[in-house]
């Protein structure tokens, strides 16, 4: 299986769980490479958001506090930075400051550079930076196609009250 | 709980803090007891209450037993009191609870629930971009979320209106389905009880 196919298969696996909901920009509408991995997800599972990352990530946390399993999608690390408060100060700290059981799946990517290079504000890789800031949230970089499905199964089924950020490589959609 | 019981609880916490038995910041309420009692008359046990770092009255009025609440405060948890069994969620980060309250409200609506989310914020938070985004989302999607703005005229020690160079707050005296504004004067400093520790 190729990189894209594994991502699409993973999204469809997540969608089978009754508590999951996909939230983000370009989940209902076309607009990013990630959109195509969601094209066979039932529309009632997709929640298009305004471009407002702190709001999106806070809504994600609120959905999780009330028992949902949100799959929150940020097309690039650079965009995810705008939701960092809700990840570092809230999602990551909820297990430390409360007994709430929250499970969030965050999907982001290192922006592709080929064939078009989007320049320096769209290709950031903050995997290590977020690793160093998070105490409970796991950050998993998806380097190979065979890494993808098991990582999403783990993110969905984990029972350790932790959330997961899964990091894609935009270039691998065409190259692996 | 009645007004006298609320005041007595906070006085007890103040004395405990001033005696050095709480090794963490506390943020105390005063002067808004009757407002809070009136607000909580409309809050059901299955409704959610989202709080900032100043939350003792909310916890008591939502049903947390005073002895349990005091024990948690003495542990040093005053600024982030969380009680899932009472549907109380708190954050000590300014604006943090705003979009979380929206998410809980959205979850309730998606599930066909009937309960509401009551999100308490201060006057400075009510002037932020985050507040405006969240309020707009709640109104436009008709989510079961109500923001309670508690205006004590300051943010830590800063005059909110002066920083925004305005004579009137954006939501001053607004009262509708999704927002309620009230003012009060507190006798306590921003943090602590006026003695020993300046956080």
Question: How high is the mean pLDDT in each 10-residue block of chain B (199 residues)?
Answer: 98 94 94 98 98 97 98 97 98 97 98 98 97 98 98 89 96 97 92 73
pLDDT of the residue at A83: 98
Q: Is the ipTM of this complex over 0.95?
A: yes
Tell me if B77 and A55 make a contact (CB, 8 A cut-off). Answer: no
Who contacts B106 (Cβ-Cβ below 8 Å, separation ≥6)? A59, A62, A63, B141, B143
E-strand stretches of chain B:
48-51, 88-90, 117-122, 145-151, 154-155, 158-159, 175-176, 179-183
Using alpha carbons, list the distances in angstroms from residue B121 to A74, A143, A161: 28, 43, 28
What is the predicted pLDDT for the residue at B124? 96
| Of residues B96, B99, B111, nearest to A89 (C-beta) | B96
Write down the pLDDT at residue B190: 85
Given an 8 Å threshold on Cβ–Cβ distance, is A62 in contact with B104? yes
Mutate which of A47, A57, A60, A65 to test chain B, going by most B C-beta atoms within 10 A? A65
Q: Residue A63's closest chain B neighbor by CA?
A: B103
CA distance A111 to chain B (A): 27
- A50 to chain B: nearest residue by CA? B137
- B20 contact partners, CB below 8 Å, separation of at least 6: B196
Q: Give the pLDDT confidence score for residue B197 in this predicted structure.
A: 62
Which residues are bridge partners to A167 per DSSP?
A108, A141
Residues 6+ apart with CB under 8 A from B73: B13, B16, B22, B26, B56, B81
User: A119: which DSSP letter?
Assistant: -
Tell me the shortest Cα–Cα distance from A6 to chain B, in angstroms.
29
Please state the separation of Cα A93 from the chain's center in Å.
18
Structure tokens at A86: 């809700």
Q: At residue B89, what are phi and psi to the nearest 5 degrees? A: -125, 130
Q: Which of B73, B77, B90 is nearest to B17 (CA)?
A: B73
Distance (Å, rounded) from C-alpha A137 to C-alpha A142?
Answer: 16
Residue A171 is given by DSSP the state: T
Query: Which among B80, B99, B104 has CB closest to A66?
Result: B104
Write down the pLDDT at residue B192.
87
How high is the pLDDT of residue A138? 98
Mutate which of B82, B107, B114, B121 to disrupt the A interface (most A C-beta within 10 Å)? B107
Nearest CB to A63 within list B77, B106, B137: B106
Per-residue pLDDT tens, chain A, 176 aa: give them: 999 999 999 999 999 999 999 999 999 999 999 999 999 999 999 999 999 999 999 999 999 999 999 999 999 999 999 999 999 999 999 999 999 999 999 999 999 999 999 999 999 999 999 999 999 999 999 999 999 999 999 999 999 999 999 999 999 999 99
Interface of chain A toward chain B, CB-CB under 8 angstroms: 21, 50, 52, 54-68, 70, 85-86, 89-90, 97-100
- Chain A, chain B: beta-carbon pairs less than 8 Å apart: 86
Q: Each residue of B108-147: pLDDT tens digit?
A: 999 999 999 999 999 999 999 999 999 999 999 999 999 9
Whole-prediction pTM: 0.97
Q: Cβ(B116)–Cβ(B179) under 8 Å?
A: no
- Distance in angstroms (rounded) separating the CA atoms of residues A140 and A81: 17
- Which of B95, B106, B113 to mutate to probe the A interface, most A CBs <10 Å? B106
CB contact under 8 A, A68 and B110: yes
């Amino acid at each position: 299986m190729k990189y894209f196919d594994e991502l699409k298969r993973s999204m469809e696996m997540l969608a089978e769980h009754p508590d999951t909901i996909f939230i983000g920009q370009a989940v209902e509408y076309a607009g990013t490479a990630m959109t195509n991995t969601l094209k066979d997800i039932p529309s009632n599972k997709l929640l298009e958001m305004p471009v407002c990352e702190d709001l999106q990530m806070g809504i994600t946390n609120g959905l999780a506090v009330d028992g949902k399993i949100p799959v929150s999608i940020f097309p690039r690390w650079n965009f995810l930075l705008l939701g960092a408060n809700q990840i570092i100060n809230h999602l990551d700290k909820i297990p430390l400051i409360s007994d709430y059981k929250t499970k969030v799946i965050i999907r982001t990517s290192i922006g592709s550079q080929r064939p078009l290079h989007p320049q320096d504000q769209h290709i950031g890789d903050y995997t290590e930076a977020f690793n160093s800031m998070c105490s409970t949230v796991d950050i998993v970089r998806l380097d190979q196609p065979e890494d993808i499905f098991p990582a999403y199964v783990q993110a969905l089924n984990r029972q350790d009250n932790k959330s997961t950020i899964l990091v894609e490589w935009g270039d691998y959609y065409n190259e692996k | 709980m009645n007004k006298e019981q609320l005041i007595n609880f906070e006085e007890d916490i103040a004395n405990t803090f001033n005696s050095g038995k709480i090794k963490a910041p506390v943020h105390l309420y005063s002067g808004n007891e009757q407002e809070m009692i009136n607000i909580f008359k409309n809050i059901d046990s299955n409704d959610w209450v989202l709080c900032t770092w100043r939350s003792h009255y909310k916890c008591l009025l939502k049903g947390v037993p005073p002895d349990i609440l005091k024990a948690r405060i003495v542990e040093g948890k005053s600024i982030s009191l969380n009680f899932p069994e009472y549907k109380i969620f708190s954050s000590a980060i300014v604006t943090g609870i705003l979009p979380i309250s929206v998410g809980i409200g959205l979850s309730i609506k998606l599930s066909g629930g009937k309960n509401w989310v009551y999100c308490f914020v201060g006057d400075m938070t009510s002037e932020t971009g985050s507040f405006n985004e969240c309020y707009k989302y709640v109104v436009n999607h008709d989510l079961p979320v109500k923001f309670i703005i508690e205006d004590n005229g300051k943010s830590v020690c800063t005059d909110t209106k002066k920083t925004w160079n305005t004579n009137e707050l954006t939501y001053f005296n607004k009262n509708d389905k999704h927002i309620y504004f009230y003012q009060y004067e507190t006798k306590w400093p921003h943090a602590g009880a006026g003695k020993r520790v300046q956080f």
